[in-house]
Amino acid sequence: LAAVSAFGFDRLKQDDSSSPTLRVTFIQPSIPQTMIWNPSENTNRFRQLIQMTAQALTNETDLLLWPEAAVPKMIRYDEETLLAVTGLARSNHVWMIIGSDDAEPPRGGSKNSDDEDDFNASFLISPDGKIAKRYCKRHLVIFGEYVPLVRWLPFVKWLTPITGGFTPGDRPARFELDDLKVKTSVLICFEDIFPRLARESVEDDTDFLVNLTNDGWFGESAEQWQHAASAVFRAIENGVPLLRCCNNGVTCWVDSRGRLQQIFRDSTGTVYGSGVLSARIPVLAPGQQRP
Catalytic residues: 68, 137, 189
By CB atoms closer than 10 A (0-12, 13-18, 19+), residue 143 is middle
Q: What are phi and psi of 100, to 5 degrees?
A: -160, 145
Answer for the pair 241, 281: CB distance below 8 angstroms, yes or no.
Answer: yes
The DSSP H or E segment spanning 197 is: helix 195-201
Give CA angle at 224 (221, 228), nearest 5°. Answer: 155
* Nearest residue to 188 (alpha-carbon basis) of 250, 240, 267, 135: 135
- Beta-ladder partners of 95: 63
Q: What are phi and psi of 113, to 5 degrees?
A: -65, -15
Cα(291)–Cα(175) distance, rounded to whole angstroms? Answer: 21
Q: What are phi and psi of 257, to 5 degrees?
A: -105, 5
